[in-house]
Amino acid sequence: MRSDRMKKGIERAPHRSLFKALGLTDREIEQPMIGIANSANEVIPGHLHLQQLSDAVKAGIRMAGGTPLEFNTIGICDGIIMGHDGMKYSLSSRELIADSVESMAMAYPFDGLVLIPNCDKIIPGMLMAAARLNIPTILISGGPMLAGEFHGKEIDLATVFESVGKIETGEIDERDLKEIEGCACPGVGSCAGMFTANSMNCLSEVLGLALPYNGTIPAVFADRIRLAKESGIQIMDLIKKDLRPSKILTKKAFENAVTVDMAFGGSTNTSLHLPAIAHEAGIPLPLQTFNRISDRTPHLCNMSPGGPFHLQDLHRAGGIPALMAELSRNKLIHKDVMTVTGKMVGVNIKGKKRLHSDVIRSLEKPYHANGGLVALFGNLAPEGAVVKRSAVDESMLRHQGPARVFESEEEALKAILSKKIRKGEVIVIRNEGPKGGPGFREMLAPTSAIAGVGMDKEVALLTDGRFSGASRGAAVGHISPEAAEGGAIAIVRNGDRIEIDIPGKKLNLLISDEELKKRLSQWKPRKKELKGYLKRYARLVTSAHTGAIFE
């Protein structure tokens, strides 16, 4: 056993003494030791209940003859840090989480790991560590929040953000807003739409590192506790079989994940996290792969924020196994991929049926013929940019307009809410990339404000920052190279015409090549005084098209 390194033999008597100080018996010390990485805290609604899940995991481990040893990681709520400097610590926390799990699992050579995340950066951070460590590992997330209800209509966190814009137009008043903010998020769990957290929780299941239905069982269902117990039992089986992430996280597994991502219209942030996890597994996953798979994959689930359905609806409709089974009818899913069930994907999804024809549509009646995400390329984004096509109105799939340039999210938001944006314009927010922010902030406040003031079918937004999974509209992010690296977005001027062609996968600044070269030769980087972790992060982080991994 791997844990023998710290507990077996005469020379390990001092180590065993310290384990006994924890209250462990000789039998518990002799059994396989399982590390539990738990991101429970009292700051994130999605993590408030994770201690209960951890207790269930421990029960499962003990039932199967193992000894659970829990430790904690940090966790940051993207919703609470949205729109201020706290957002600079969101994506950057992913690397801290991966490093902390790696540090604990190397310092204490556990025989296996159980990962308990739930929200945006915690899930990929833990999965990156799993690929890096390559010891038997299983993930059990906290599960999605139930949707809220306002005047008989299902709502979620995105509704609250968009309601801020509706205040400005007079569509609602402050009393309505107060009621909406009180009922949009009814309890624990990751926010109810197909935002980043739920996208990644579903994809952890597709990648094969979580049990079926991990992504969709609501946080408050008893099924979630039972799944946690099963995960605790299953980690012991993975140890016996020596079934490691390297045998699960294959190229085919990542292609399955991108396929399902396209089918359910996941967050644009999956184009950051999947390549980052793949990098740790030694598998290249360029943005071109997303386009190739998007072109052949129909969009079958119309989930919030682009559509009316929430994760509880997807679960009732058969969950991710039913969606994968439907996709497999056209041979869009690799069935010969191993998972933590100890069985191949094909076995896991065999016989699974769609139970609601609108929540998971058939291949013959998709919402769109192609997938939910698209990577755009052109002189404005030679290394790529990303848009959530499934959340863009048909009228904005192709758009040309004059640029309105802002040097930060705050500047743009102020202009949107004060109604200084004109119909047809292309809002450009720059210096918000991984290095330039630093921290690659999400732009949910501006995109929600655009929707809230009723201009999501009239204006587009481009940024070298990124978007929340809750964003909708013609919002193109992850523009690479970013402004801080001298990308073309750095030299866009007010009034320059910009071409967005989502079906054609193009993003261009409509100036001559000579003018483009001239402006780039005259460009000088903006200087920011940084300190602490953000200073180190800005120095080490790479472009968005790489997954914003460290050099």
Greatest Cα pair distance in the chain: 77
The confidence score (pLDDT) of residue 395 equals: 93
Question: Would the pLDDT of 358 be above 90?
Answer: yes
Please, which residues have CB within 8 angstroms of residue 442's CB and are 6 or more apart in sequence?
78, 82, 87, 90, 465, 466, 467, 468, 471
Q: Which of 16-30, 76-90, 350-364 has the lowest mean pLDDT?
A: 76-90
| Gap between the Cα atoms of 193 and 195, Å rounded | 5
| 101 three-state secondary structure | helix
Percent over 90 (pLDDT), the chain: 89
* Token digits of residue 504: 């054609």
Q: What is the pLDDT of residue 229?
A: 98
**Lowest-confidence range among 28-37, 128-137, 159-168, 246-255?**
159-168
pLDDT in tens, 302-341: 999 889 999 999 999 999 999 999 999 999 999 999 999 9
Phi, psi of 460 (to 5 degrees): -115, 165
The H or E element that residue 383 is part of is: strand 381-388
Distance CA(131)–CA(201), nearest Å, equals 16
* Mean pLDDT across the chain: 95
DSSP 145-207: PPPEEETTEEE-HHHHHHHHHHHHHTSS-HHHHHHHHHHSS-SSSB-SSS-HHHHHHHHHHHH
**Exposure letters 269-279 (e unless 16+ CB within 10 A, then b):** bbbbbbbbbbb
CA-wise closest residue to 143 among 184, 188, 186, 210: 188
Q: What is the pLDDT of residue 454?
A: 85
> Which of the two residues, 170 and 263, has the higher pLDDT score?
263
- Cα–Cα distance for residue pair 102/130, rounded to 1 Å: 8
How many residues are present in the chain?
551
pLDDT at residue 467 in the model? 85
Is pLDDT at 447 greater than 90 in this prediction?
Answer: no
Per annotation, catalytic residue among 468, 471, 480, 543: 468
Which pLDDT score is estimated for 456?
85
Q: What is the pLDDT of residues 203-245, one digit of tens each?
A: 999 999 999 999 999 999 999 999 999 999 999 999 999 999 9
Q: Is residue 103 annotated as a catalytic residue, yes or no?
A: no
Angle at which helix 122-133 crosses helix 90-107, to 10 degrees, equals 40
pLDDT tens column, 161-219: 889 888 878 899 999 999 999 999 999 999 999 999 999 999 999 999 999 999 999 99
Inform me whether the pLDDT recorded for 276 exceeds 80.
Answer: yes
Residue 233, φ and ψ in degrees, nearest 5: -65, -40
Q: Decide: pTM greater than 0.85.
A: yes
Q: What is the pLDDT of residues 402-428, one digit of tens each?
A: 999 999 999 999 999 888 999 999 999
pLDDT of residue 306: 85
pLDDT band at 468 (very low <50, low <70, confident <90, very high): confident
Give the pLDDT of residue 235.
98
Residue 531 burial (C-beta neighbours within 10 Å; 0-12, 13-18, 19+): exposed
Residue 527 has pLDDT above 90, yes or no: no
